Amino acid sequence: MELEERMRPPLSPDFNRERRFNQEIWGQQRLEVQTFPAVTTIPLNVKLKIIAYIEKENFNMLIALDMDGTLLNEEGKISPENREAIVHAQSLGHIVIIATGRSYMDAERQLRLVDLECPVVSLNGAVVTLPDRTLAASKPLNKEDIIPALRWMSGIPELYYEVYTEDNVYVELDKRVRLEKLSELNDEAVPGELRWLLKAMIAKQFQQASVTYVESMEEIWSKDEYVIFKTLAFSLNRELLKEASTRFAAIPGLIITASHVNNIEINHKDANKGSGVGMLAAHYGIPAEQVAVMGDSYNDLPMFEMAGYRIAMENAAPILKETADFVTGNHAENGVAEGLRHLLEKRKGQ
């Protein structure tokens, strides 16, 4: 007869009832939830497997890094210092993921340039991709619902906007030309901070791996083969931006976020960085309390809300700094490397 022992599962109190275990223990898929009663009967051989699993994995962390304003420096690159810090964290068994508003192809290109492999939460959580390029989840927008709002934006010269598919970014050519002209205005016409933002947006476009300019966005939304996951709108006229936000807010099933006070980003209501990071945490069997996140903008708030530890960049929006457990250096000064060193030292001391 197999020896059995009554015991509580060796988990923290918050995770006694639900825990996602590795397939090697339960013989189940990673994404299947195993539910326990408060006290249960577990065969001794399974108990030993659980203990071995915990000792082996040590509840390693999942660390989510934003890209723009966080991991990427002012040149739009991953610095050698940041890369080294990521590789070190990975060597300790931690899962480092990218959580970005960029397309997957663009994020993956940035990683490939410095020989890094990471899971990617792209387009603000609308697409989740594993390191082997397996698509783990996707939440597209309903084109029929958003076409009227997109058509309205196309007719407003002061509104610049982009449409994102899984692997490309589409911009109307005349919008790009207008944006470039705005960046050339002097301080009297455009305050210095906004002019810097305009130049940064244009620089980001040149850095992106896949931007396609079209005469009219009708070319995209009128064809079934184009699946839209996100749209971003930018304007110096905040009243126009507010009007755009109001139009999208009236459409059921959408969420509106921002990465700056002069833009809005529209996604499926179930697509945000928090849900994407949470999905990967579940996939790897890591509880939320072992999730650490690092970011700088408003669209990072959903993952700040779900994480166990939050790190804001020195250049982050005030609300992120207020909710952060630690404020690291500027993205232009290898702030990610500093944040990872702090995180690993803190963990070592626990």
Check the CA dihedral 252-254-257-259 and report its sign: negative
**Residue 285 near residue 26, CB atoms below 8 Å:** no
**Residue 190 near residue 198, CB atoms below 8 Å:** yes
Q: How far apart are CA 217 and CA 145, in angstroms?
A: 15
**Residue 199 near residue 183, CB atoms below 8 Å:** yes
| DSSP reduced 3-state for 38 | coil
Closest CA to 256 of 91, 95, 146: 146
Residue type (1 letter), 346: K
Q: Which two tokens stand for residue 140?
A: 């597209």
Instruction: List active site positions.
Output: 66
Check the CA dihedral 122-126-128-129 and report its sign: negative
**Residue 267 near residue 124, CB atoms below 8 Å:** yes
Which residues 6+ apart lie within 8 Å of 248 measured at CB?
A: 146, 149, 254, 256, 264, 266
Characterize the bridge pairing of strands 254-257 and 263-268. Answer: antiparallel
Q: Which two tokens stand for residue 20?
A: 């996602």
Residue with tokens 């490939």: 112
DSSP summary character for residue 263: E
